[in-house]
Amino acid sequence: AALKGKVWRFQVSAALKEGRVTPGELCQRCLALVRSTSFLNAYITVAEETALKQAEESERRYKRGQPLGVLDGIPVAVKDNFNTAGIETTCASNMLKGYISPYNATVVQKLLDQGAVLLGKTNLDEFAMGSGSTDGVFGPVRNPWSYSRQYKEKSVPKSHSEDEESNWVITGGSSGGSAAAVSSFTCFAALGSDTGGSTRNPAAHCGVVGLKPTYGLISRHGLIPLVNSMDVPGILTRCVDDAAVVLGSLAGHDPKDSTTIQDNFKPFELPDLPDVSKLSIGIPKEYQAPGLSSEILALWSKAADLFKNAGAKVIEVSLPHTRYSIVCYHVLCTAEVASNMARFDGLEYGHRSEINKSTESMYAATRREGFNDVVRGRILSGNYFLLKQNYENYFIKAQKVRRLIANDFLKVFGSGVDILLTPTTLSDAVPYMEFIKEDNRTRSAQDDILTQAANMAGLPAINVPTALSERGLPIGLQFIGRSFQEKQLLTVAKWFEKQVKFPMIQLEEVKRPNHNVFQHEKSASFS
């Protein structure tokens, strides 16, 4: 079942077709892993009953020889800011705790239509506002690599108890639950959302592939909005091929989302032996940002050399407005947040305060009780930027700067560059106790710096796990492509993935009911 070497590839989809494993068995094994890794806090809701029922239906289709596609019977997880009919959708908040949506988000429905088995909803920062997956009401997500042999061998705690309580590292965010779920083998693919890097950032810290597609390629219908003009559903998998398969199932026009492309999307297969020799790879000099670790800088340089040695043209390029990008992003982000959060007023759905002396007092108390400080802070900032006397100076100016940032990318791609190669994060994952020393606003400004420009320009970008740091933690690099050129982007990412041969996580502390039955769960690929 497994090939010898650094990566065990058990093609689960093929195994399902050939009857070597049934969807029910696969689902049971993944659910057992979810239970044994519950200390990671990756899941908010585990939909065990629903998942087993979906697995049974999948099993019947396989017995008839009529699977719905490559995703039939494959266990997946979904970030808890996508609406799911019959399963609680909380956004990790008091405001929506207990809320059950009457409908599925389009991306969730498409997964179910392909026969995927939905294991549950994953943890996040409250309303996806954060870069650590530490600010939700259900508590922080722990990075599976905190419990890996690779990390434990490199970290030298003063005592065992200190190791347990203060040495674990964050997942990044805000889709940290989805990244941890994929990284710890509890599912084969997961959905995140990406507004300023919320899929790519945790993917980098958890050693998985994180794809942010072009804005408009995948429907946002049913994704609880943060910043409508930047939000994109993201895809987290253990290899690039799997990301391409999931993208093929989700992409295309949705009449319920007017921002989706009108053209039909044709799913594609990536070549087995990608050729990068005819490509031009751009290295943006502005991404050598303050705070970038020397380790990541060296890895970025090595990656550029890999392309050069393969015959690709590697050139330094300039995206001059990048330095204004993070400030511009936070003005636009908070302004749209203020608008989007207005719907949570305690009248139609979600939490309603018992303080009801007047409608105004009920509104105020509901929002005070339902939102954490981070969400309230962003609402306050956004409303300030949208005040009549500030609108021109802040919001309109930020929109103009956003256009300049997008034009920088257009110029670079117009000059013949095919793909941009950049770091994804400034460093590897930091310990939780260190991360919480700084406030959410400061952390987000630092952690989004290398990722949010792709959201401002609406471009596709992907994190590819590249190597382990000196501390034994994952480091990823980011590829940014031209609009709607996902095939080229993923082809380059696949070539790079093959070159770097990122090591498999060796989880030591997972209490498994039967170690051997999980061998193929550790596969890189289901496709």
**121 touches 87 (CB < 8 A):** yes
Positive or negative torsion for Cα 222, 456, 217, 79 = negative
Q: Among candidates 193, 227, 209, which has minimal Cα distance to 122?
A: 193
CA dist 443 and 457 (Å) reads: 22
CA dist 129 and 486 (Å) reads: 27
Cross-strand bridge partners of residue 148: 507
**121 touches 101 (CB < 8 A):** no
For residue 176, pLDDT beyond 50? yes
**79 touches 219 (CB < 8 A):** no
- Which residues touch 268 (CB under 8 Å, ≥6 apart)? 244, 248, 487
pLDDT of residue 172: 95
**70 touches 58 (CB < 8 A):** no
> Per-residue pLDDT averaged across 370-380, rounded?
96
- Going by their DSSP bridges, the two strands 280-284 and 419-423 should be labelled as parallel
pLDDT of residue 37: 97
pLDDT band for 140, please (50, 70, 90 cuts): very high
Q: What is the DSSP letter of 341?
A: G
Could you give the percent of the chain with pLDDT greater than 70? 93
Domains of the chain: 11-276+425-500 (3.90.1300.10)
Q: Among candidates 161, 3, 7, 78, which has minimal Cα distance to 500?
A: 7
pLDDT of residue 446: 85
CA dist 100 and 120 (Å) reads: 13
Q: Among candidates 34, 46, 33, 189, which has minimal Cα distance to 518?
A: 33
CA angle centred on 75, ends 74 and 76, rounded to 5°: 115
Per residue in 387-424, pLDDT tens? 999 999 999 999 999 999 999 999 999 999 999 999 99
pLDDT band for 447, please (50, 70, 90 cuts): confident
pLDDT of residue 445: 78
Neighbours of 149 (CB within 10 A): 13
pLDDT of residue 510: 55
Residue type, 318: S
Residues with a known catalytic role: 79, 174, 198
Q: What is the mean pLDDT of the chain?
A: 92
Cross-strand bridge partners of residue 237: 189, 209
Q: What is the DSSP letter of 94?
A: S
pLDDT of residue 516: 36
- Which residues touch 130 (CB under 8 Å, ≥6 apart)? 124, 173, 174, 374, 440, 443, 444
Per residue in 230-258, pLDDT tens? 999 999 999 999 999 999 999 999 999 99
pLDDT band for 514, please (50, 70, 90 cuts): very low
Residue 224's alpha-carbon distances to 122, 180, 336, 439, in angstroms, are 14, 21, 13, 24
CA dist 462 and 209 (Å) reads: 7
> Per-residue pLDDT averaged across 246-273, rounded?
95
Per residue in 198-231, pLDDT tens? 999 999 999 999 999 999 999 999 999 999 999 9
For residue 522, pLDDT beyond 70? no
For residue 2, pLDDT beyond 90? no
Could you give the percent of the chain with pLDDT greater than 90? 87
pLDDT of residue 526: 67
Cross-strand bridge partners of residue 282: 315, 420
> Per-residue pLDDT averaged across 154-173, rounded?
73
CA dist 374 and 236 (Å) reads: 26
pLDDT of residue 509: 59
- Which residues touch 369 (CB under 8 Å, ≥6 apart)? 94, 351, 353
DSSP 164-225: HHH--BB--SSSHHHHHHHHTTS-SEEEEEESSSTTHHHHHHHTSEEEEPPTTTB--TTBPP
- Read off the pTM: 0.94
